[in-house]
Amino acid sequence: MAAAQDLEGFATWIEGLIRERGYDIDSPRGGGKSRLADAAGVHRAAITRLLQRHSMPDLETMRRLARVLRVPVREMLVRSGQLTADELPLSPAPAGAAGGGADEPLTLERAAELLGIPAEQREMFVRVAGQFLPENGPAEAPARRRA
C-alpha cells in the first residue's frame, strides 16, 4: 500500500509543479501534457499514466522531467518514494568556495567546477560558454546569476 501512497503524493506534487511552470493540464485541448512531453523528450503516455495515478515514471523519465520542471533529480526521487533523504544525502558545499555563498554570483569558472569539468578543460569551457552571455557583462547575464 505504501507504493500507492507514494504515487498519489508524488502525482499531486508534480501536478502542482507542472501547473506552476505554465503547462495547461486541466483543459482537454490545452495541450499541456503534449508540450511537457515534447519539452522533456518523453512519451505523452508516460505523463498521462502519472497524472492518472496509474504508474510511477522510470528513472530516465524522472530525470528528464526534473530538468524541464527545474527541480533537482534528488527531490524527484525522494518525493516519489524511490529513495529516502537519508539514502541520497545532500553533499555539503566546500567552505569558502567561489560562488558557494548565497550572495555570490555563479561564475563560469565555478559552474565548470560544479559540473565536474576537468581542470585542464575549464578554460575552454569558460571561453565557449562565455560566447553565449550578453556582451554588456556578467551582471546582465542570467546564466551567471546565483541559482
Q: pLDDT by residue (tens digit) across 43-85?
A: 999 999 999 999 999 999 999 999 999 999 889 988 998 888 8
Q: Please, are residues 24 and 30 in contact by the beta-carbon 8 Å criterion?
A: yes
Cα(131)–Cα(127) distance, integer angstroms: 7
Closest CA to 77 of 56, 52, 91, 47: 56
In this predicted structure, what is the pLDDT of residue 116?
80
Burial degree of 60 (CB within 10 A; 0-12, 13-18, 19+): exposed
Q: Which residue type occupies 88?
A: L
Plot region of 70 (φ>0 → left; ψ -120 to 50 → alpha; else → beta): left
CB within 8 Å of 66: residues ≥ 6 apart: 72, 73, 75, 76
Taking CA atoms, 129 is separated from 37, 111, 112, in Å, by 28, 10, 10
Banded pLDDT at 14 (limits 50, 70, 90): very high
Mean pLDDT for the chain? 81
| Model-wide pTM > 0.75 | no
pLDDT tens across 92-131, in order? 655 444 444 555 677 888 888 888 888 888 888 888 888 8
Taking residues 29-56, report their average pLDDT: 93
Cα(120)–Cα(139) distance, integer angstroms: 27
DSSP one-letter code for 103: T
Write phi, then psi, for 9 (nearest 5 degrees): -65, -45
Q: Which residue type occupies 100?
A: G
The cell for 72 is 533537482
Taking residues 14-43, report their average pLDDT: 92
In this predicted structure, what is the pLDDT of residue 96?
47
